[in-house]
Amino acid sequence: GENVEQHPSTLSVQEGDSAVIKCTYSDSASNYFPWYKQELGKGPQLIIDIRSNVGEKKDQRIAVTLNKTAKHFSLHITETQPEDSAVYFCAALRGDSSYKLIFGSGTRLLVRP
Amino acid sequence: NAGVTQTPKFRILKIGQSMTLQCTQDMNHNYMYWYRQDPGMGLKLIYYSVGAGITDKGEVPNGYNVSRSTTEDFPLRLELAAPSQTSVYFCASSRHPAVGTGELFFGEGSRLTVL
């Protein structure tokens, strides 16, 4: 089955700096890659996603890149702010009928004021 | 619009007890999921459902059961609670995950402790 590995497990950056979180997946049939943000005591919320027919997608300060050949994708946050502090999860979904969204182990991001 | 509602938010169980975590959604989503989240770990899929009357196993189904008699409700049952089932449980729902954004809408979680 699908396996998603996520690095780093923790990341501390100064406010205004950029943050990059990387994920690799094992199943070449995966074709949908979302990123979720989880704030303390809450459920995860989708922040950006990308499908396998696209190499990069941006939404204001957040961008995701996908390299299908290498089977890895990354989340980039620019001009980080304290409210970006949270746990971030990547995930991968197979395009077949299984519809199992498999998550990485999460990255705890701390943005220091 | 309530979204996905889980109950209870907190529960302490003794080893061997049984309980049901309730989940309901009001977005008319066909797809529903149960995940567990252990400290320092990601979300592990327990069971999921693609519509009323249809359920399937995820990554970690052992020790759990589900049913889907209606589109709105997707309860998760623990039959013989074990300490290994101490975790935070999240229910989620979505439209067809391969269409549109594929976004999962999560509930706020149910923290279960088995002693």
Per-residue pLDDT of chain B in tens (115 residues, 90 and over written 9): 679 999 999 999 999 999 999 999 999 999 999 999 998 778 999 999 999 999 999 989 999 999 999 999 999 999 899 999 999 999 999 987 666 667 899 999 999 999 9
- Preceding omega of A8 cis (within 30 degrees of 0): yes
pLDDT above 70: percentage of residues in chain A: 96
Q: Which of A77, A107, A76 is nearest to A90 (CA)?
A: A107
- pLDDT for the residue A1: 72
Strand residue runs (E) in chain B: 4-7, 10-13, 19-25, 31-37, 43-51, 54-57, 64-66, 76-78, 87-94, 105-106, 110-114
Q: What b-and-e string marks burial along A18-40, b requiring 16 or more CB atoms within 10 Å of the CB? A: ebbbbbbbebeebbbbbbbbbee
Which chain A residues contact residue B51 at CB under 8 A?
A: none
pLDDT of residue B1: 66
Q: What is the nearest CA distance from A92 to chain B, expressed in angstroms?
A: 11
* CB proximity A99 to B under 8 Å: yes
Q: Which of B43, B91, B93, B110 best probes binding to A when mutated, by most A CB atoms within 10 angstroms? A: B43
- pLDDT reported for residue A34: 93
Tell me if A99 and B103 make a contact (CB, 8 A cut-off): no
Cβ of B108 within 8 Å of Cβ of A42? The answer is yes
Mean pLDDT of the A3-32 span = 94
The arithmetic mean of pLDDT across residues A2-16, rounded, is 94
How distant is the Cα of A65 from the closest Cα of chain B, in angstroms?
16
pLDDT at A97 over 60: no
User: pLDDT of B19-47, one tens digit each?
Assistant: 999 999 999 999 999 999 998 778 999 99
- Structure confidence at residue B7 (pLDDT): 96
* Contact between chains at B97 and A1 (C-beta distance less than 8 A): no
Per-residue burial over B30-67, b = 16 or more CB atoms within 10 Å of its CB, e = otherwise:
bbbbbbbbeeeebbbbbbbbbebeebeebbbbeebebb
pLDDT tens-digit series, residues A56-71? 999 999 999 999 999 9
Predicted confidence at residue A95, as pLDDT, reads: 64
Contact B4 A43 (CB under 8 A): yes
Residues 6+ apart with CB under 8 A from A20: A74, A75, A76, A77
